[in-house]
Amino acid sequence: MKRFLTLFLALSLIDVLMVSCFCDCPSPDEAPFVYCQIDTENLDNSGQEITIASDTVVKSAYGIRLAIETVLGDVCQATHSMPLLSGAYAVGCHCEVATYFYSTNPITRVEILTNAAFDANTPAGSDVADRFFRFNGESYTEAGQAIRNTQSLSYTGEHILELLLMEAPENAGEYQFNVEIELQDGTVYTSLTPVIYLR
Amino acid sequence: MKKMNWINPLAAILIASATVQAQDTPTEVDRWKFHAYVGVESVQGLPFDEVDPSVTYLNRLPYSGIAIPIGIEFQYHKVPNLWIGVEAFNYVAASSSFSDDQFHRQLEREYAGLEVVASDFYDYVQPIDDFSGFRFFIGYRKEFGVWSVAARASLGRFDYLPWEGEVLMKETNANKYYRVEYSTDFRRREPVYKTYGARIRVGYSILPWLEVNAHVGGNLGRMEYEREILFTDLYEGTSTEENLTETYRTTQINYGIGVGFRF
C-alpha cells in the first residue's frame, strides 16, 4: 500500500511537472471560445427600469432577455481534472489572461419566430427578428447584428442581451417567441420564451 | 469650487491704490475723500418665479453663497454727505438646494409622456459658483461721532459661465428612448445680467482712518439667455433643435461685515 501511494504521488508530481513544462498557453491577448447554450425570458420595459415580465406586458414595451452561454476553449463540456493530476495547468503555466475572445464557429443565422400573427402580413411562424433591437444607452442595434456582435467578446461566460420589440404587433393576445441561432458548423441553438400576453 | 475670477477685485484694488496715491497733491486732499473697503457677505437668492410652473428650472433656482466685496467710495468736498463708488465682488462659495430629482421632474413636465432614466447634467450650479461682477453706486453717508450710517443705491452686472448637460429620457409604456441635450452660451448674446440694489451700512470708527462696518441689503437681478435644446429620437435617428430665449430673474438678500480705510 505504501509503495502504491509513493508511486501515485510520484506520477502526480511528474504530471504536474510535464504540464508545467509543456502546457500550451494560448496567445496572451486572445483566445477562442464556443457558444454552448441560449436561454430566453420575457421582459417588461413599461417603467423606468426593465424587469422580468410576469404574464402580461404592454406590447409596445415588450422585450426578450437572451442569455448566451459561452465557454473558453473548443468544447462546451466542462473538463473535470482528477485531483492532483494536471492541477498545475493554471498555476504552473502562468498563462496570461486573454483580453479578447473570438468564436471559431461563428453565427450564420439568427431568427426570432413568432407563434402568433402580428398582423395580416406577418402570420404565425414569421421571422420577426428585424423588429427587435438592442439599446445600449446611446443607440439601437438590430437584434441579429447584436447577437452576431458576440462573436468577439471581452470575456467569456454568460452574455445577456435585452432585445426590445420596436414594432409592436397589431393584435393583442398570447405570444411565444422562438429564438434560433445557427452556427457555421450547422449547430442550432433554440430557446422558446414563456407564453406572454401582449396587451 | 470653481476657479475664481479675481480680475474685477484686482482692478478695484489698483484703482484704490492709484487714487490713494493721488491724494499726495494737497489740493486733491482738500477736494476729495476716499474710503476703500473689503468685506465678506452672505447672499441668499430667492426663487423669483416659484409660482409660475411654466418657467424653466434655472429661473426657479434658489441658492446661497458667500461673496467677497471690495470697493472704493469717493466724496467731493462741496457735497460732503454724497458718495459715489464702485464695488467688485466674487463668490468664494455657493450652493443650490435645487436637486437632480427636482430637475428631472421639471424635464418630465416639459416633455409630457417621457420620463428621465439617466442624466449627465453637469455644472448646472456653475453659474452660481462663478458669480463675479461689479456695481456702481451712489449713496448718502452721515456721521454721528464715531458712528456713521450710509445708504446707497446700485446698478451692476454679474458674469455667468455657460453650462450644458445631457439627459436620457424614455417613453412611458414603450421601448423608445430619447436624448435631450442642453447648452447655453451666455457669451453669444450680450452677457448682461443687470442688478439693481439697495443697501444700508452702519460703521464704527476705531481710528480716524479705520472703520468696521456691517451692512444689509438686497438686489433684483435680470438676465436674458439663450438655451439650445437638441432633442434626438434615438430609434428613428432624427433630431430637432430648438433655441429658447429665457429670462432669469432673481431676488437676493445680502448681509455682511467689512473693514474700511479712510483717506
> Binning pLDDT at 50, 70 and 90, where does residue A195 land?
very high
pLDDT of B110 reads 81
* Residue scoring higher pLDDT (A174 or B60): A174
- Residue A93 pLDDT more than 90? no
DSSP H helical ranges for B100-202: 100-110, 126-129
Mean pLDDT of B86-105: 78
Instruction: Please check whether residue A181 is in contact with residue A188, taking contact to mean a CB–CB distance below 8 angstroms.
Output: yes
Calculate the alpha carbon distances from A138 to A143, B92, B175, B233 in Å: 15, 37, 13, 11
Convert the pLDDT of each residue in B53-75 to its tens digit: 555 555 556 678 889 999 999 99
- Contact criterion met (CB < 8 Å) for A58 and B117: no
Mean pLDDT of A138-147: 94
- State yes or no: ipTM above 0.85: no
Convert the pLDDT of each residue in A60-83 to its tens digit: 999 999 999 988 888 887 544 444
Top-ranked range on mean pLDDT: pick from A159-163, B76-80, B187-191? A159-163
- For residue A167, give the nearest of A196, A128, A116, A141 by alpha carbon: A128
Mean pLDDT of A154-172: 90
pLDDT of A92 reads 52
Q: What percent of chain A has pLDDT over 70?
A: 76
- Minimum-distance CB partner of A140 among B117, B170, B234: B234
Other Cβ atoms less than 10 A from the Cβ of A103: the count is: 18
Convert the pLDDT of each residue in B136-181 to its tens digit: 999 999 999 999 999 999 999 876 666 677 889 999 999 999 998 8
Q: Minimal Cα–Cα distance from A153 to chain B, Å?
A: 25
Q: What is the mean pLDDT of chain B?
A: 78
pTM (2 decimals)? 0.69
pLDDT of B182 reads 80
- Contact criterion met (CB < 8 Å) for A165 and B117: no
pLDDT of A197 reads 96
pLDDT of B26 reads 43
pLDDT of A107 reads 93
> Binning pLDDT at 50, 70 and 90, where does residue B250 land?
confident
Q: Which has the minimum average pLDDT: A73-77, A127-131, A169-173, B223-227? A: B223-227
- Whole-number Å distance between alpha carbons of B202 and B142: 10
- Contact criterion met (CB < 8 Å) for A48 and B117: yes
- Residue B27 pLDDT more than 60? no
- Whole-number Å distance between alpha carbons of B186 and B192: 9
pLDDT of B226 reads 76
The interface residues of chain B toward chain A in range 177-196, judged by CB-CB distance below 8 A, are 177, 179
- Whole-number Å distance between alpha carbons of B131 and B233: 35
- Whole-number Å distance between alpha carbons of B226 and B182: 10
- Minimum-distance CB partner of B235 among A45, A58, A140: A140
List the single best residue of A56, A60, A62, A133 to mutate versus B (max B Cβ within 10 A): A60
Q: Minimal Cα–Cα distance from B169 to chain A, Å?
A: 9
Mean pLDDT of B213-234: 87
